[in-house]
């Protein structure tokens, strides 16, 4: 009799595990639940948002049913393979009441051990049930309440109908809610223009228009992605130190930088160059009808200059294969752009940048900037980079010694472009000047090769017509 009951429950309730959302990541933090016990869910509906070491990702559920239990509250770091939600796929067949959402822990604590599930159960990407306990930390200012409205909207988008929601809650899709949060906009104050009273991205941006967008100005000026930082935690009087848990993107950045700095022997070279003609070209391109609708700035020309330099010195575009003791020459360029975001440093890249025309490259840069600024950069967009550009100039910095993105051979740092006295045609004149710094892996790139690449980039920025003659 017991066996039959257990079998019946197993058939009735399906469990959804934390999937490996990309590149073998082992854990993720649950940022937000979009459903709660008792809500109806449909195949493909987004049920929660999680943050991995790479990016924030929304997770869709792969079956229909009614939410029975949320295993972890918001703010919990969960290992890949652990069950995060249970769904009643045969609702109405019994009297089992929906389980309550676990309350957030007041301080870090271990999740009680659960019996490992027998057999394999379907997840989105991977398996790998871990038996280790999970780490918990309560999210400040958030409870266990979850937005049922988002689930209703997602249900409509999936064509499965909506769920009854409280009319007092503003209707908005999860990405729009996240955008509003990042911009500090209360959705209750936004006037919706979407069908059915749904708040759109345009509505959120319109509500944010009166507020000076410093991050937007930085992006327009020089194009390194920089979003407004999250408000720091309040400082309690008398407390001399504050400890912040290392996790998520910050944890990944730290590990990647240590691995890179102590694995690849770095060499950094510098050159100061007159970019006055490049700045004039940027101004002319902004008026060119062929460049209409795309963002034109100095970073676009710098990116194109680096691509031409790589074409002239292809051996710089390589990778070190430690396992096979081989140097991998890459015949494509996935150009990374280092981006500062509220969650930390990310390096999305433009796939096959070497094949793109100037308008195509400008469009790709614009899309990369907007996607990163809105926190929508996917793990796939950050994988497979070959060389990177980091624009420290947007912060008024002259130059730096950048650390290589792991697996890449070179990174170019671009300093602030400033009006400085410069000898031009035998006379001292005010000219637009910047400093470039190229760091490279000395296992792959000798000093001569690295110097040639940096010199070529500088020569193109000094005489942009070389984009034609050298290309």
Mind telling me the catalytic residues?
A: 442
In the numeric block, which tokens belong to residue 87?
Answer: 């769904």
Longest dimension (CA), the chain: 99
Sign, CA dihedral 256-259-260-262, equals positive
Q: How many C-beta neighbours within 10 Å does residue 418 have?
A: 14
The token duo for 113 is 């051990």
Alpha-carbon gap, residue 47 to 65, rounded angstroms: 12
The three-state (H, E, C) secondary structure of the chain, written as one string: CHHHHHHHHHHHEEEEECCCCCCCCCEEEEEEECCCCCCEECCCCEEEEEECCCCEEEEECCCCEEEEEECCCCCEEEECCCEEEEEECCCCCCCCCCCCCCCCCCCCCECCCCCCCCCCCCCCCCCCCCCCCCEECCCCCCCCCCCHHHHHHHHHHCCCCCCCCCCCCCEECHHHHHHHHHHCCCHHHCCCCCHHHEECHHHHHHHHCCCCCHHHHHHHHHCCCECCCCCCCCCCCCCCCCCCCCCHHHHHHHHHHHHHHCCCCEEEEEEEEECHHHHHHHHHHHCCHHHCCCCCCHHHHHHHHHHHHHHHCHHHCEEEECCCCEEEECCCCCEEECEEECCEEECCEECCHHHCCHHHHHHHHHHHHHHHHCCCCCHHHHCCCCEEEEEHHHHCCCCCCCCCCCCCCEEEEECCCEEEEEEECCEEEEEEEEEEEEEEECCCCCHHHHHHHHHHHHHHHHCCCHHHHCC
CA 97 vs CA 58, 151, 162: distances in Å: 27, 20, 22
Give ∠ CA 274-398-302 in degrees, rounded to 5.
50
Contact 436, 417 (CB under 8 A): no
């Amino acid at each position: 009799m017991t066996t039959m009951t257990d079998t019946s429950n197993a058939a009735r309730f399906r469990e959804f595990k934390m999937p490996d959302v990309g590149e073998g990541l082992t854990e993720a933090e649950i940022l937000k639940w979009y459903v709660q016990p008792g809500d109806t869910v449909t195949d493909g509906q987004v049920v929660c948002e999680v943050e991995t070491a790479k990016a924030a990702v929304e997770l869709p559920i792969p079956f229909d049913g009614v939410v029975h239990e949320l295993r972890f509250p918001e703010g919990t770091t969960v290992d890949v393979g652990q069950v995060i939600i249970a769904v009643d796929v045969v609702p109405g067949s019994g009297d089992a009441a929906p389980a309550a959402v676990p309350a957030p822990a007041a301080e870090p604590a271990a999740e009680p051990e659960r019996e490992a599930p027998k057999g394999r159960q379907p997840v989105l990407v991977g398996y790998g049930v871990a038996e280790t306990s999970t780490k918990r930390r309560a999210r400040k200012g958030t409870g266990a309440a979850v937005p049922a409205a988002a689930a209703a909207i997602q249900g409509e988008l999936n064509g499965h109908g909506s769920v009854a929601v409280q009319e007092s809650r503003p209707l908005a899709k999860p990405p729009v809610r996240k955008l509003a949060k990042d911009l500090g906009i209360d959705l209750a104050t936004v006037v919706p223009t979407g069908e059915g009273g749904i708040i759109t991205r345009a509505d959120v941006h319109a509500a944010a228009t009166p507020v000076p967008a410093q991050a937007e100005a930085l992006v327009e000026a020089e194009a390194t992605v920089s979003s407004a930082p999250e408000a720091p935690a309040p400082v309690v009087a008398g407390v001399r130190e504050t400890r912040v848990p290392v996790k998520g993107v910050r944890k990944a950045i730290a590990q990647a930088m240590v691995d890179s700095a102590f694995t690849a022997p770095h060499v950094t070279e510098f050159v100061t160059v007159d970019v006055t003609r490049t700045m004039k070209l940027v101004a002319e391109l902004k008026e060119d009808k062929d460049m209409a609708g795309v963002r034109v700035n100095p970073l676009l020309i710098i990116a194109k200059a680096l691509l031409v330099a790589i074409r002239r010195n292809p051996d710089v575009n390589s990778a070190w294969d430690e396992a096979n003791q081989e140097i991998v020459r890459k015949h494509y360029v996935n150009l990374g752009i280092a981006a500062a975001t509220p969650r930390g440093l990310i390096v999305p890249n433009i796939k096959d940048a070497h094949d793109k025309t100037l308008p195509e490259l400008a469009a790709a840069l614009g899309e990369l900037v907007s996607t990163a600024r809105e926190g929508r950069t996917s793990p796939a967009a950050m994988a497979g980079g070959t060389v990177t550009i980091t624009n420290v100039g947007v912060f008024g910095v002259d130059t730096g010694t950048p650390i290589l993105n792991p697996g890449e051979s070179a990174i170019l740092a671009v300093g602030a472009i400033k009006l400085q006295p410069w000898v031009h045609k035998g006379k001292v004149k005010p000219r637009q000047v910047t400093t470039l710094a190229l760091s490279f892996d000395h296992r792959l790139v000798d000093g001569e090769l690295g110097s040639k690449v940096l010199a070529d980039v500088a020569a193109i920025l000094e005489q942009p017509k070389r984009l034609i003659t050298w290309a």
